[in-house]
Structure formats: structure tokens, C-alpha cells
Amino acid sequence: MSLVFVKLGGSLITDKRREAAAQPDILQRLAGELRQALDAAPDLRIVLGHGSGSFGHWEAERHGTRAGVATPEAWEGFAQVSAAAARLNRIVVDTFLEAGVPVLSFQPSASALVDNGEIVALAADPLRRALDVGLAPLVFGDVAFDRVRGGTILSTEDIFVHLATILQPERILLLGNAPGVLDNWRRVIPSITPATYPQIAPFLRGSCCTDVTGGMADKVEQMVALVQRMPALRVWILTGQEPGNLKRALLDPGGTPGTYIHGD
């Protein structure tokens, strides 16, 4: 069994400039590409994730949820953020099921426990069982209870990092709008390792639109730290705007476009 984590970024599957604006055409194409890849490689197993885009991020920005939750008003906002993330998740689930991809949604807030932004517990056995029977577990950016902050926001990358050490994927594919990690001249940086990261870090930016979880800079930092812990893991950051990229990345790791993050 070849296990791959795939994230569909919020910037890709929603229009982050407009609140609660999904991109159904893009979602349908990506679902079709994933179905084609599964047909071509029956031993492929997928843990799918998606960002909250203009659904959860707008609500989280409005209520300041990432920084912490304490007042009754903030807890009401916490619930509103969760509801917004779940609305997008329902769209993603329905789209992939219609394309024949057997996704099974796992809401992170139902089992996650966090300590000052770091996941200390998240139920992984149900995801493992889903993989065993040929389903594709689907996680997403969501709220979570936090021992220090009261409540906070978990990004899909936060969840992937935690699950990677448990489920041991071979690869992680992070698809967004950008063709990869870009330098100051808007050129794709082909490769990043823990050794080269300090020189690349100054080029990184957050997000051009509403994003409470740190955008590209946080994504790269987390993935570099993860490949240090898991040297055999391979990570790619690539665009999902180019038709066929997801299918190619799943079936031909060596031909995957974008930025390749790996151990030294």
C-alpha cells in the first residue's frame, strides 16, 4: 500500500476574496483526477485534506479564534467558525462522492486536544480503519479545544503533521494556487531542505488574502520541520490550477512539478 496525504488549499477550492465562495468547477476536476489516479494505481491510499478558504478563515478572522477563546461571545464565534468549515467540508464530500471517490469525513474538532497550538491528541485509529477498507479519510481545517488558549484553529497542515508520524505516509502533496514556493523574482524554488531553508525563509510570505493560519510561510516551516523528523518523507508544494497536475503527482512522483521539500 502506498499512502499519500493530499491537501487541497483553501485558495484553490474557494475564492478567498469573497466570503463563503466555493469553486465547484475546480473541485469537480480535482475529484475526477483523483478518481483516475485510483483507477490507475489500485494500491494507492489517500488521506485527503482541505483548507477552509473563504468559509472558515473569514469567520475566524472576524472572531479572533486562532489567538484564543475565553468570553461567551468568543465561544459563540468558535461555534460559528466550526459551522463555516463544516459547510465547505460538505461541499467537498458531496463533490468527491459524486466523482466516485469514497471519502469519509472526519471532523478534527470532534477528537482533537491542543496545548498552546500544538496537537497532543487526535483520534487516528478510525482513519487507519477507513484506509484498511479502501476509503479515503477526509480532514480539514477546523476549531479545536486548547488547554492554554481555551480554543484555537487547526490548519490542515497542523493535522497532517500530527497524523504523519502515526500513519507514516510516503508523500505529502500540498496543492494551492501558486506553482510552488517562489523567490523574490517570482521564480519557483525547485528544492528545499533543512540545510537550505534558512536562506529561503526570507523569501516567504503569508497569504495575500484572509488566512489566520500563516499561509505559505507557515506551510513551508512545518514541512521542513517534518522532513527533519521523518527523513524518508517527500513533500511537494504545487499548483492545482493546472489540469492534470494532481493525477500526475499521484502517479509519477519523479515528474511532480512545484517545490520539492525533503531531508538532507
Q: Please write down the HEC assignment for all residues of 120-186.
A: EECCCHHHHHHHHCCCEEEEECEEEEECCCEEEEECHHHHHHHHHHHHCCCEEEEEECCCCCECCCC
Determine the Cα–Cα distance for residues 118 and 153; give it in Å rounded to an integer: 10
Determine the Cα–Cα distance for residues 152 and 139; give it in Å rounded to an integer: 16
> Which is more confidently placed, 196 or 184?
196
Total count of residues recorded for the chain: 264
On the question of pLDDT at 23 being above 50, the answer is yes
- Residue 104 in grid coordinates: 469519509
What pLDDT, on a 0 to 100 scale, did the predictor assign at position 207?
47
Determine the Cα–Cα distance for residues 28 and 33; give it in Å rounded to an integer: 9
Q: Please write down the HEC assignment for all residues of 245-257.
A: HHHHHHHCHHHCC
Give the Cβ contact number of residue 113 at 10 Å.
Answer: 12
On the question of pLDDT at 51 being above 90, the answer is yes
Residue range 70-94: average pLDDT? 96
Q: What is the mean pLDDT of the chain?
A: 93
What pLDDT, on a 0 to 100 scale, did the predictor assign at position 60?
75
CA-CA-CA-CA dihedral for 160, 163, 167, 172, to nearest 10: 10
> Which is more confidently placed, 217 or 39?
39
What pLDDT, on a 0 to 100 scale, did the predictor assign at position 56?
75
Domain extents for the chain? 2-262
Residue range 113-131: average pLDDT? 97
On the question of pLDDT at 73 being above 90, the answer is yes
**Range name among 60-74, 153-167, 171-185, 228-242 with the lowest pLDDT average:** 60-74
CATH assignment of 2-262, among 3.20.20.70, 1.20.120.330, 3.40.1160.10, 1.10.10.10: 3.40.1160.10
Determine the Cα–Cα distance for residues 4 and 2; give it in Å rounded to an integer: 7
The two beta strands, 118-121 and 103-105, are unpaired
Confidence at 204, pLDDT banded by 50, 70, 90: confident
Confidence at 69, pLDDT banded by 50, 70, 90: very high
Share above pLDDT 70 across residues of the chain, in percent, rounded to a whole number: 96
Confidence at 61, pLDDT banded by 50, 70, 90: confident
**Range name among 10-19, 70-79, 112-121, 245-254 with the lowest pLDDT average:** 10-19
Confidence at 212, pLDDT banded by 50, 70, 90: low
> Which is more confidently placed, 178 or 213?
178
On the question of pLDDT at 210 being above 50, the answer is no
What pLDDT, on a 0 to 100 scale, did the predictor assign at position 66?
87
On the question of pLDDT at 93 being above 60, the answer is yes
On the question of pLDDT at 211 being above 70, the answer is no
